[in-house]
């Protein structure tokens, strides 16, 4: 199957990965819009499809070939579109994709997508192109201004990872840690707020490793950036994700007690509750040091909601070691969490370690872990019943008059109103379910 070379009038970007992958997807959409290509309306075929892929686990990575197959066989849409593969699979397997999928015109890595418009010009001429360079800063310098209209927005402040956890592909697909300059970030945040954002989530693979110089030339860390962003009128909520336990500093912990706009929520992956496993993962923190860190957050912000990531079945993990993970869950009581079965990734040290764990053992451990995490999430939600909080309205529900928004603790809240997207309303929580809360409107938005 030959690539489609018709100049595209419409595009669709499909993002499959983490929030930074979603952010990249938005920026690619903005680039295509600058070129005069418009987003294909929902349910309609697109002339150009960008598959913005994720390489973190095997399932996610393999999905792209079935997606390409569905697009070219007319299962996803009537006519085969021009196809671009972007994201972390593009970075890791660029050449292989070009060989395996002749219908693909462009393969572009996460640090090179600012060159997508040029690649598109070549694709129309029938040239297939791969670009997986990593000129980190250049990308941000050559992207168009933000235009996205939404009450919540992502802002990538830091990229890449130098931690090299032994199971993880990110240091290879995203490259070394870099921080975007302070002034660029403040400028982008202003643009987002002008376009309607009331909440900004600062993103980075290790967001709390961000560092830069403020307008006066003083060295600042993420806390300094948060303090500066909090001074932007119209911006009401600030969040950040994902942090690494080893990059946490006193100023960031303190900021949770000082900055009202900084929401009471922390996503801090631990991966395992066992020190031998943590060491084999190259996490360079212990279960105890992780718990002590969370304690400090709770001291400055007692109502802080805690979230984490877990991997079960890391090579060599024994039943007793897995039970340490259950123990840490019991201690922390997460408000929500993400848990995964270990997936061996090509090129990472753990993939060739001895004692790979059998799939059925992993399945069983994941079930037990998720039962506890679900228990705690439900309990967290139930404990909010009777409390009153602000909710930022993100979308309409299925029923008439029903709306969905987020509480300060990042829990979804359903309630009835006749307001609109982007309202900040006051809601009393009346019911706490396993995954969301029901609220009653106390005070509609003040226009």
Per CB under 6 A, residues contacting ligand F3S are 17-18, 20-21, 54-56, 87-88, 169-170, 173-174, 205
Cβ neighbors of 358 (< 8 A, separation 6 or more) are: none
The residue (of 206 and 411) whose beta carbon lies closer to ligand SF4 is 206
Residue 272 or residue 377: which is nearer to ligand SF4 going by CB? 272
Q: Which is nearer to ligand SF4, 72 or 348 (CB)?
A: 348
Q: Which does 171 bind (CB under 5 to 8 A by kind): ligand SF4, ligand F3S, ligand SAH, none?
A: ligand SF4
53/130 with CB nearer ligand SF4: 53
Chain center to CA of 345: 20
- DSSP string computed for 299-339: HH-TT-EEEEEEEE--TT--HHHHHHHHHHHHHH--SEEEE
Residue (18 or 64) nearer to ligand SF4, CB: 18
**Any idea what DSSP says for residue 151?**
S
Kind and range of the H or E element at 82?
strand 82-86
Tokens 């979230």 belong to 307
Binding partner selected for residue 343 from ligand SAH, ligand SF4, ligand F3S, none, CB under the kind-specific 5 to 8 Å limit: ligand SAH
Nearer to ligand F3S, 159 or 423 (CB): 159
Facing residues of 202 across strands? 155, 240
DSSP string, 32-47: HHHTT-EEPPTTS--S
In whole angstroms, how close is the CB of 168 to ligand SF4 at the nearest point? 3
- How far is it, in rounded angstroms, from Cα 62 to Cα 208? 31
Q: Give, to the nearest 10 degrees, the angle between helix 182-194 and helix 222-230.
A: 30
Closest to 224 in 3D by CA, of 214, 232, 209? 214
User: In angstroms, rounded to a whole number, what is the distance separating the alpha carbons of residues 225 and 235?
Assistant: 14
Q: Binding partner of residue 173 among ligand F3S, ligand SF4, ligand SAH, none, CB under 5 to 8 Å per kind? A: ligand F3S
Would you tell me which residues interact with ligand SAH (CB under 6 A)? Answer: 56-57, 167-168, 170, 205-206, 242, 244, 269, 271, 309, 311, 340, 342-343, 345
In a 3-state reduction of DSSP, which class is residue 227? Answer: helix
Judge contact between 226 and 262, C-beta under 8 A: yes
179 binds, among ligand SAH, ligand F3S, ligand SF4, none (CB under 5 to 8 A by kind): none
Residues constituting the chain: 447
| Cβ proximity to ligand SF4, 31 vs 281, nearer residue | 281
- Closer to ligand SF4 at the Cβ: 348 or 411? 348
Interacting residues toward ligand SF4 by CB under 6 A: 161, 163-165, 168, 170-171, 205-206, 244
**Is 352 buried (19+), middle (13-18) or exposed (0-12) by CB count in 10 A?**
exposed
Task: Indicate which of ligand SF4, ligand F3S, ligand SAH, none lies near residue 54 (CB less than 5 to 8 Å, by partner kind).
Answer: ligand F3S
Q: Is 279 helix (H, G, I), strand (E, B) or coil?
A: helix
Pick the closer one to ligand SAH by CB: 304 or 311: 311
Tell me the closest approach of the beta carbon of residue 283 to ligand SAH, in angstroms. Answer: 9
Q: What is the closest distance, in whole angstroms, from the C-beta atom of residue 243 to ligand SAH in the complex?
A: 8
17, interface contact from ligand SF4, ligand F3S, ligand SAH, none, CB < 5-8 Å by kind? ligand F3S
Q: Where do the DSSP E strands lie in 6-69?
A: 10-15, 38-39, 48-53
Among ligand F3S, ligand SF4, ligand SAH, none, partner that 311 touches (CB below 5 to 8 angstroms by kind): ligand SAH
| Residue closer to ligand SF4, measured from CB, 18 or 366 | 18
Task: Choose the one of ligand F3S, ligand SF4, ligand SAH, none that binds residue 152, judging by a C-beta under 5 to 8 angstroms depending on kind.
Answer: none
Q: How far is the CB of 343 from ligand F3S (least distance, A)?
A: 11
Distances from the Cα of 443 to the Cαs of 121, 408, 422, in angstroms? 52, 16, 15
d(C-alpha 94, C-alpha 185), whole Å: 30
Q: How far is the CB of 60 from ligand F3S (least distance, A)?
A: 7
CB of 247 to ligand SF4, least distance (A): 9
Provide the 3-class DSSP secondary structure of residue 108. strand
Least distance (Å) between residue 24 CB and ligand F3S:
8
Which 8-state DSSP code applies to residue 1? -
Q: Are strands 424-432 and 388-396 parallel, antiparallel or unpaired?
A: antiparallel
Q: How far is CA 249 from the centre of its chain?
A: 22
* Identity of the residue, 284 or 388, whose beta carbon is nearer to ligand SAH in the bound complex: 284
Q: Which does 198 bind (CB under 5 to 8 A by kind): ligand F3S, ligand SF4, ligand SAH, none?
A: none
* Token duo for residue 233: 């009128």
User: What does DSSP say about strands 152-156 and 129-131: parallel, antiparallel, or unpaired?
Assistant: unpaired
Partner in contact with 342, chosen from ligand SAH, ligand F3S, ligand SF4, none, beta carbon below 5 to 8 Å by kind: ligand SAH
Mark 12-25 as b/e (b = at least 16 C-beta within 10 Å): bbbbbbbebbbbbb
**Residue 20 binds: one of ligand SAH, ligand F3S, ligand SF4, none (C-beta under 5 to 8 A by kind):** ligand F3S
């Amino acid at each position: 199957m030959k690539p489609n070379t018709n100049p595209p009038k419409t595009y669709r970007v499909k993002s499959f990965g983490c929030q930074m992958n979603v952010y990249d997807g938005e920026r690619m959409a903005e680039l295509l819009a600058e070129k005069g290509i418009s987003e294909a309306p929902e349910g309609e075929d697109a002339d150009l499809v960008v598959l913005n892929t994720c390489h973190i686990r095997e399932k996610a990575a393999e999905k792209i070939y079935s997606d390409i197959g569905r697009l070219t066989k007319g299962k996803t849409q009537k006519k085969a579109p021009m196809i671009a593969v972007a994201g972390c699979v593009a970075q890791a397997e660029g050449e292989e994709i070009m060989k395996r999928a002749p219908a693909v015109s462009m393969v572009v890595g996460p640090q090179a997508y600012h060159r997508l418009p040029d690649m598109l010009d070549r694709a129309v001429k029938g040239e297939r192109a791969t670009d997986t360079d990593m000129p980190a800063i250049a990308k941000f310098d050559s992207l168009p201004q933000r235009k996205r209209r939404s009450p919540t927005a992502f802002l990538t402040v830091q990229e890449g990872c130098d931690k090299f956890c032994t199971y993880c592909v990110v240091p290879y697909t995203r490259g070394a840690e870099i921080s975007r300059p302070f002034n660029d970030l403040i400028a982008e945040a202003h643009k987002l707020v002008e376009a309607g954002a009331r909440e900004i989530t600062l993103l980075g693979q290790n967001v709390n490793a961000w560092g830069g110089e403020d307008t006066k030339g003083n060295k600042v860390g993420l806390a300094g950036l948060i303090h500066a962003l909090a001074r932007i009128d119209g911006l009401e909520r600030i969040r950040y994700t994902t942090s690494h336990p080893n990059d946490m500093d006193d100023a960031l912990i303190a900021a949770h007690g000082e900055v009202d706009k900084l929401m009471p929520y922390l996503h801090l992956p631990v991966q395992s509750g066992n020190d031998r496993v943590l060491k084999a993962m190259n996490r360079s923190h212990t279960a105890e040091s992780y718990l002590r860190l969370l304690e400090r957050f709770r001291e400055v912000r007692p109502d802080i909601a805690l979230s984490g990531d877990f991997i079960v079945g890391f090579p060599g993990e024994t039943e007793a070691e897995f039970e340490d993970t259950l123990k840490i869950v019991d201690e922390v009581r997460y408000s929500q969490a993400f848990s995964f079965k270990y997936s061996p990734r090509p090129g990472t040290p753990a993939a060739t370690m001895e004692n790979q764990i059998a799939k059925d053992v992993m399945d069983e451990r994941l079930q037990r872990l998720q039962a506890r995490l679900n228990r705690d999430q439900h309990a967290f939600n139930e404990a909010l019943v009777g409390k009153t909080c602000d909710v930022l309205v993100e979308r309409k529900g299925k029923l008439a008059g029903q709306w969905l928004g987020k509480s300060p603790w990042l829990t979804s809240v359903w309630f009835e109103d006749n307001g609109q997207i982007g309202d900040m309303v006051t809601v009393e929580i009346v019911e706490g379910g396993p995954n969301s809360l029901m609220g009653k409107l106390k005070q509609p938005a003040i226009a």
